[in-house]
């Protein structure tokens, strides 16, 4: 039976960083995004409010900024290799992230079968953010179930990789999970734990296990 591997982005595929942080650095707004990230982590603001504030912060964002942020981000080593191995074995790999879809979807070119992020207006921004398009921790479970139906697998065939509170509901819903450079929100829920900078090593923990 094929397996579906579900990857978080911020703090998981990105080592010690997040897409909004990398994008904001390109705009010279590192301090401003750090404050918003703290408010989000402490739950003073929810995902829709975070997105609304980020939209305002990124008023001057261009595709060139997004490209530079993506190419300069601190990615884990071995992402393409892991996804190629999953594909070669008949499995599936997908990314589900609360970060903007225009960043997350670039990972389709690296070999992901699917990539889901929060729905932002096109860059450069001319439209407001629709809060209904902003993903949440619960939405990750809903999307995982949709992907199961698409690929003809069940939750029992899934592996989740994540690092923080936005992954906790998904870890609780799936039988196998890998905490990657994780905090306390998921470390106690995970089947396996990995600390390091190479996705191949995290993947090896579950590669031959059912």
Using 50, 70 and 90 to split pLDDT, how confident is the model at 81? very high
| End-to-end Cα distance, the chain | 10
Q: How does DSSP classify residue 191? A: S
Residue 170: which of 140, 202, 206 has the closest Cα?
140
Look up residue 146 and give its two tokens: 């949709």
Band of pLDDT at residue 1, cut at 50, 70 and 90: confident
The pair of structure tokens assigned to 56 is 């305002």
Q: What is the pLDDT of residue 195?
A: 96
What is the per-residue pLDDT across 13-34, written as a single tens digit (0 to 9) for each?
999 999 999 999 999 999 999 9
DSSP tag of 176: E
Cβ atoms of 104 and 116 closer than 8 Å:
yes
pLDDT one-digit tens code per residue, 164-205: 999 999 999 999 999 999 998 888 899 999 999 999 999 999
């Amino acid at each position: 039976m094929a397996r579906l591997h579900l990857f978080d982005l911020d703090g998981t595929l990105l080592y010690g960083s997040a897409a909004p942080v990398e994008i904001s650095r390109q705009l010279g707004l590192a301090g401003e995004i750090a404050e918003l990230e703290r408010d989000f982590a402490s739950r003073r603001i929810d995902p829709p409010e975070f997105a609304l504030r980020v939209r305002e912060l990124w008023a001057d964002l261009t595709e060139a900024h997004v490209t530079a942020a993506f190419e300069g981000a601190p990615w884990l080593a071995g992402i393409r290799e892991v996804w190629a191995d999953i594909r070669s074995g008949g499995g599936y790999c997908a990314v589900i992230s609360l970060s903007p879809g225009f960043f997350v979807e670039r990972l389709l070119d690296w070999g992901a079968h699917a990539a889901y992020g929060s729905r932002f207006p096109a860059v450069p921004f001319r439209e407001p953010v629709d809060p209904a398009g902003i993903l949440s921790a619960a939405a990750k479970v809903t999307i995982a179930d949709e992907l199961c139906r698409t690929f003809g697998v069940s939750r029992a065939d899934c592996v989740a990789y994540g690092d923080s509170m936005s992954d906790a509901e998904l870890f609780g819903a799936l039988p196998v999970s890998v905490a990657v450079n994780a905090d306390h929100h998921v470390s106690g829920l995970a089947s396996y734990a990995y600390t390091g900078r190479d996705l191949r090593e995290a993947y090896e923990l579950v590669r031959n296990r059912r």
